[in-house]
Structure 1
């Protein structure tokens, strides 16, 4: 049985969901961002209890296929931006279409309809959050950050950063941590 869970954005989320599954004695094959595959079909009561437990932790069990597809899109973007070590030269439109076996124009219009923001804007917001994280860590130069996140130039990154945050990257570095957002709030 496949279960789809909204707001899973990191490895700690996976750990928390695994713990909730164990509490309810639910055997899982896999637990990944936004998705759980169980060994067996679950009784309705168990699914409802899991949904309740997850909701108390800030997660949401999805039952609508459109919502599940939106969550898959978000998880692919988050994986590409936040958890991929190498710079990707692929367009997100190609990555999403190939991974979900759907036409990008369909994915884009569905995402905009349900989320009220375009996929492109969502990707930009995720990339800016990653830039904030990397600036705060202070391990990479702005040029290295631009390369890592597949920006065409430091100027492009800086312009986009200022457009989204209202701050230049150097000013953000001074004000720091209080301006970052949790990934599920982006």
Structure 2
């Protein structure tokens, strides 16, 4: 078996694209999830080089060093939590990350800040604000429902955080509907 860590896998579509490319190379994936692919056999250096070359133009990067893998795991957990686990954030982020990565949160936090130049909490907030933008653009939920879905303690707290990050109130953002969303891998 071979485990590959792939940077910039942020959604189910990314998983489908990587799966399709693996299929073209006749590499059978035992499991694919955000940021990680487990192949059912060892791959040769030539196969790995070919995969790297195929994935690069699609915006993906195979990462080998331990630091990059840890950062991508942290980001993948946060992205999955915010964008794919509606209203599942019942425990605090530090416990989720510590349990998933089997490391002390202080270590993870310091490591993330050192490598990324921002804190885990700021990254988490940025992801949540991107999700708020997405939900505002869809215009299917009230601000109160959005606050509840993303586990904000109140609409006022969500609005204050939104304004602090974007410079706009949620209602002003909704009015102008400019393309203020960033791709998840650029947050």
- Once the two structures are superposed, residues 116-148 of structure 1 have per-residue CA deviations (whole angstroms, 9 ceiling, x without a partner) of 110000000000000000111111111111111
1:164 aligns to what?
A: 165
How do residues 104-183 of structure 1 correspond to structure 2 at under 5 angstroms? Answer: 104-183=105-184
Q: Contact 1:6–1:62 (CA<8 Å) still a contact in 2?
A: yes
Q: Contact 1:87–1:147 (CA<8 Å) still a contact in 2?
A: no
2:47 aligns to what?
A: 46
Shift of 1:85: 2.3
How do residues 39-118 of structure 1 correspond to structure 2 at under 5 angstroms? Answer: 39-118=40-119
Alpha-carbon distance in 2 for matches of 1:98, 1:30: 21
Q: TM-score, normalised by structure 1?
A: 0.98
1:9 aligns to what?
A: 10
Q: TM-score, normalised by structure 2?
A: 0.97
Structure 2 unaligned segments of length 5 or more: list them: none
Structure 1 unaligned segments of length 5 or more: list them: none
Count of residue correspondences:
186
Alpha-carbon distance in 1 for matches of 2:6, 2:20: 14
CA distance change for structure 1 residues 177 and 8 in 2, over 3 Å: closer, same or farther?
A: farther
Q: Contact 1:136–1:177 (CA<8 Å) still a contact in 2?
A: no
RMSD between aligned alpha carbons?
Answer: 0.8
Q: Contact 1:28–1:38 (CA<8 Å) still a contact in 2?
A: yes
* SS, match of residue 86 in structure 2: coil
* SS, match of residue 36 in structure 1: strand
Shift of 1:150: 1.0
Q: Contact 2:7–2:72 (CA<8 Å) still a contact in 1?
A: yes
2:185 aligns to what?
A: 184
- Once the two structures are superposed, residues 60-112 of structure 1 have per-residue CA deviations (whole angstroms, 9 ceiling, x without a partner) of 10001111111011010011100012342211000000011100011101111
Alpha-carbon distance in 2 for matches of 1:75, 1:177: 27
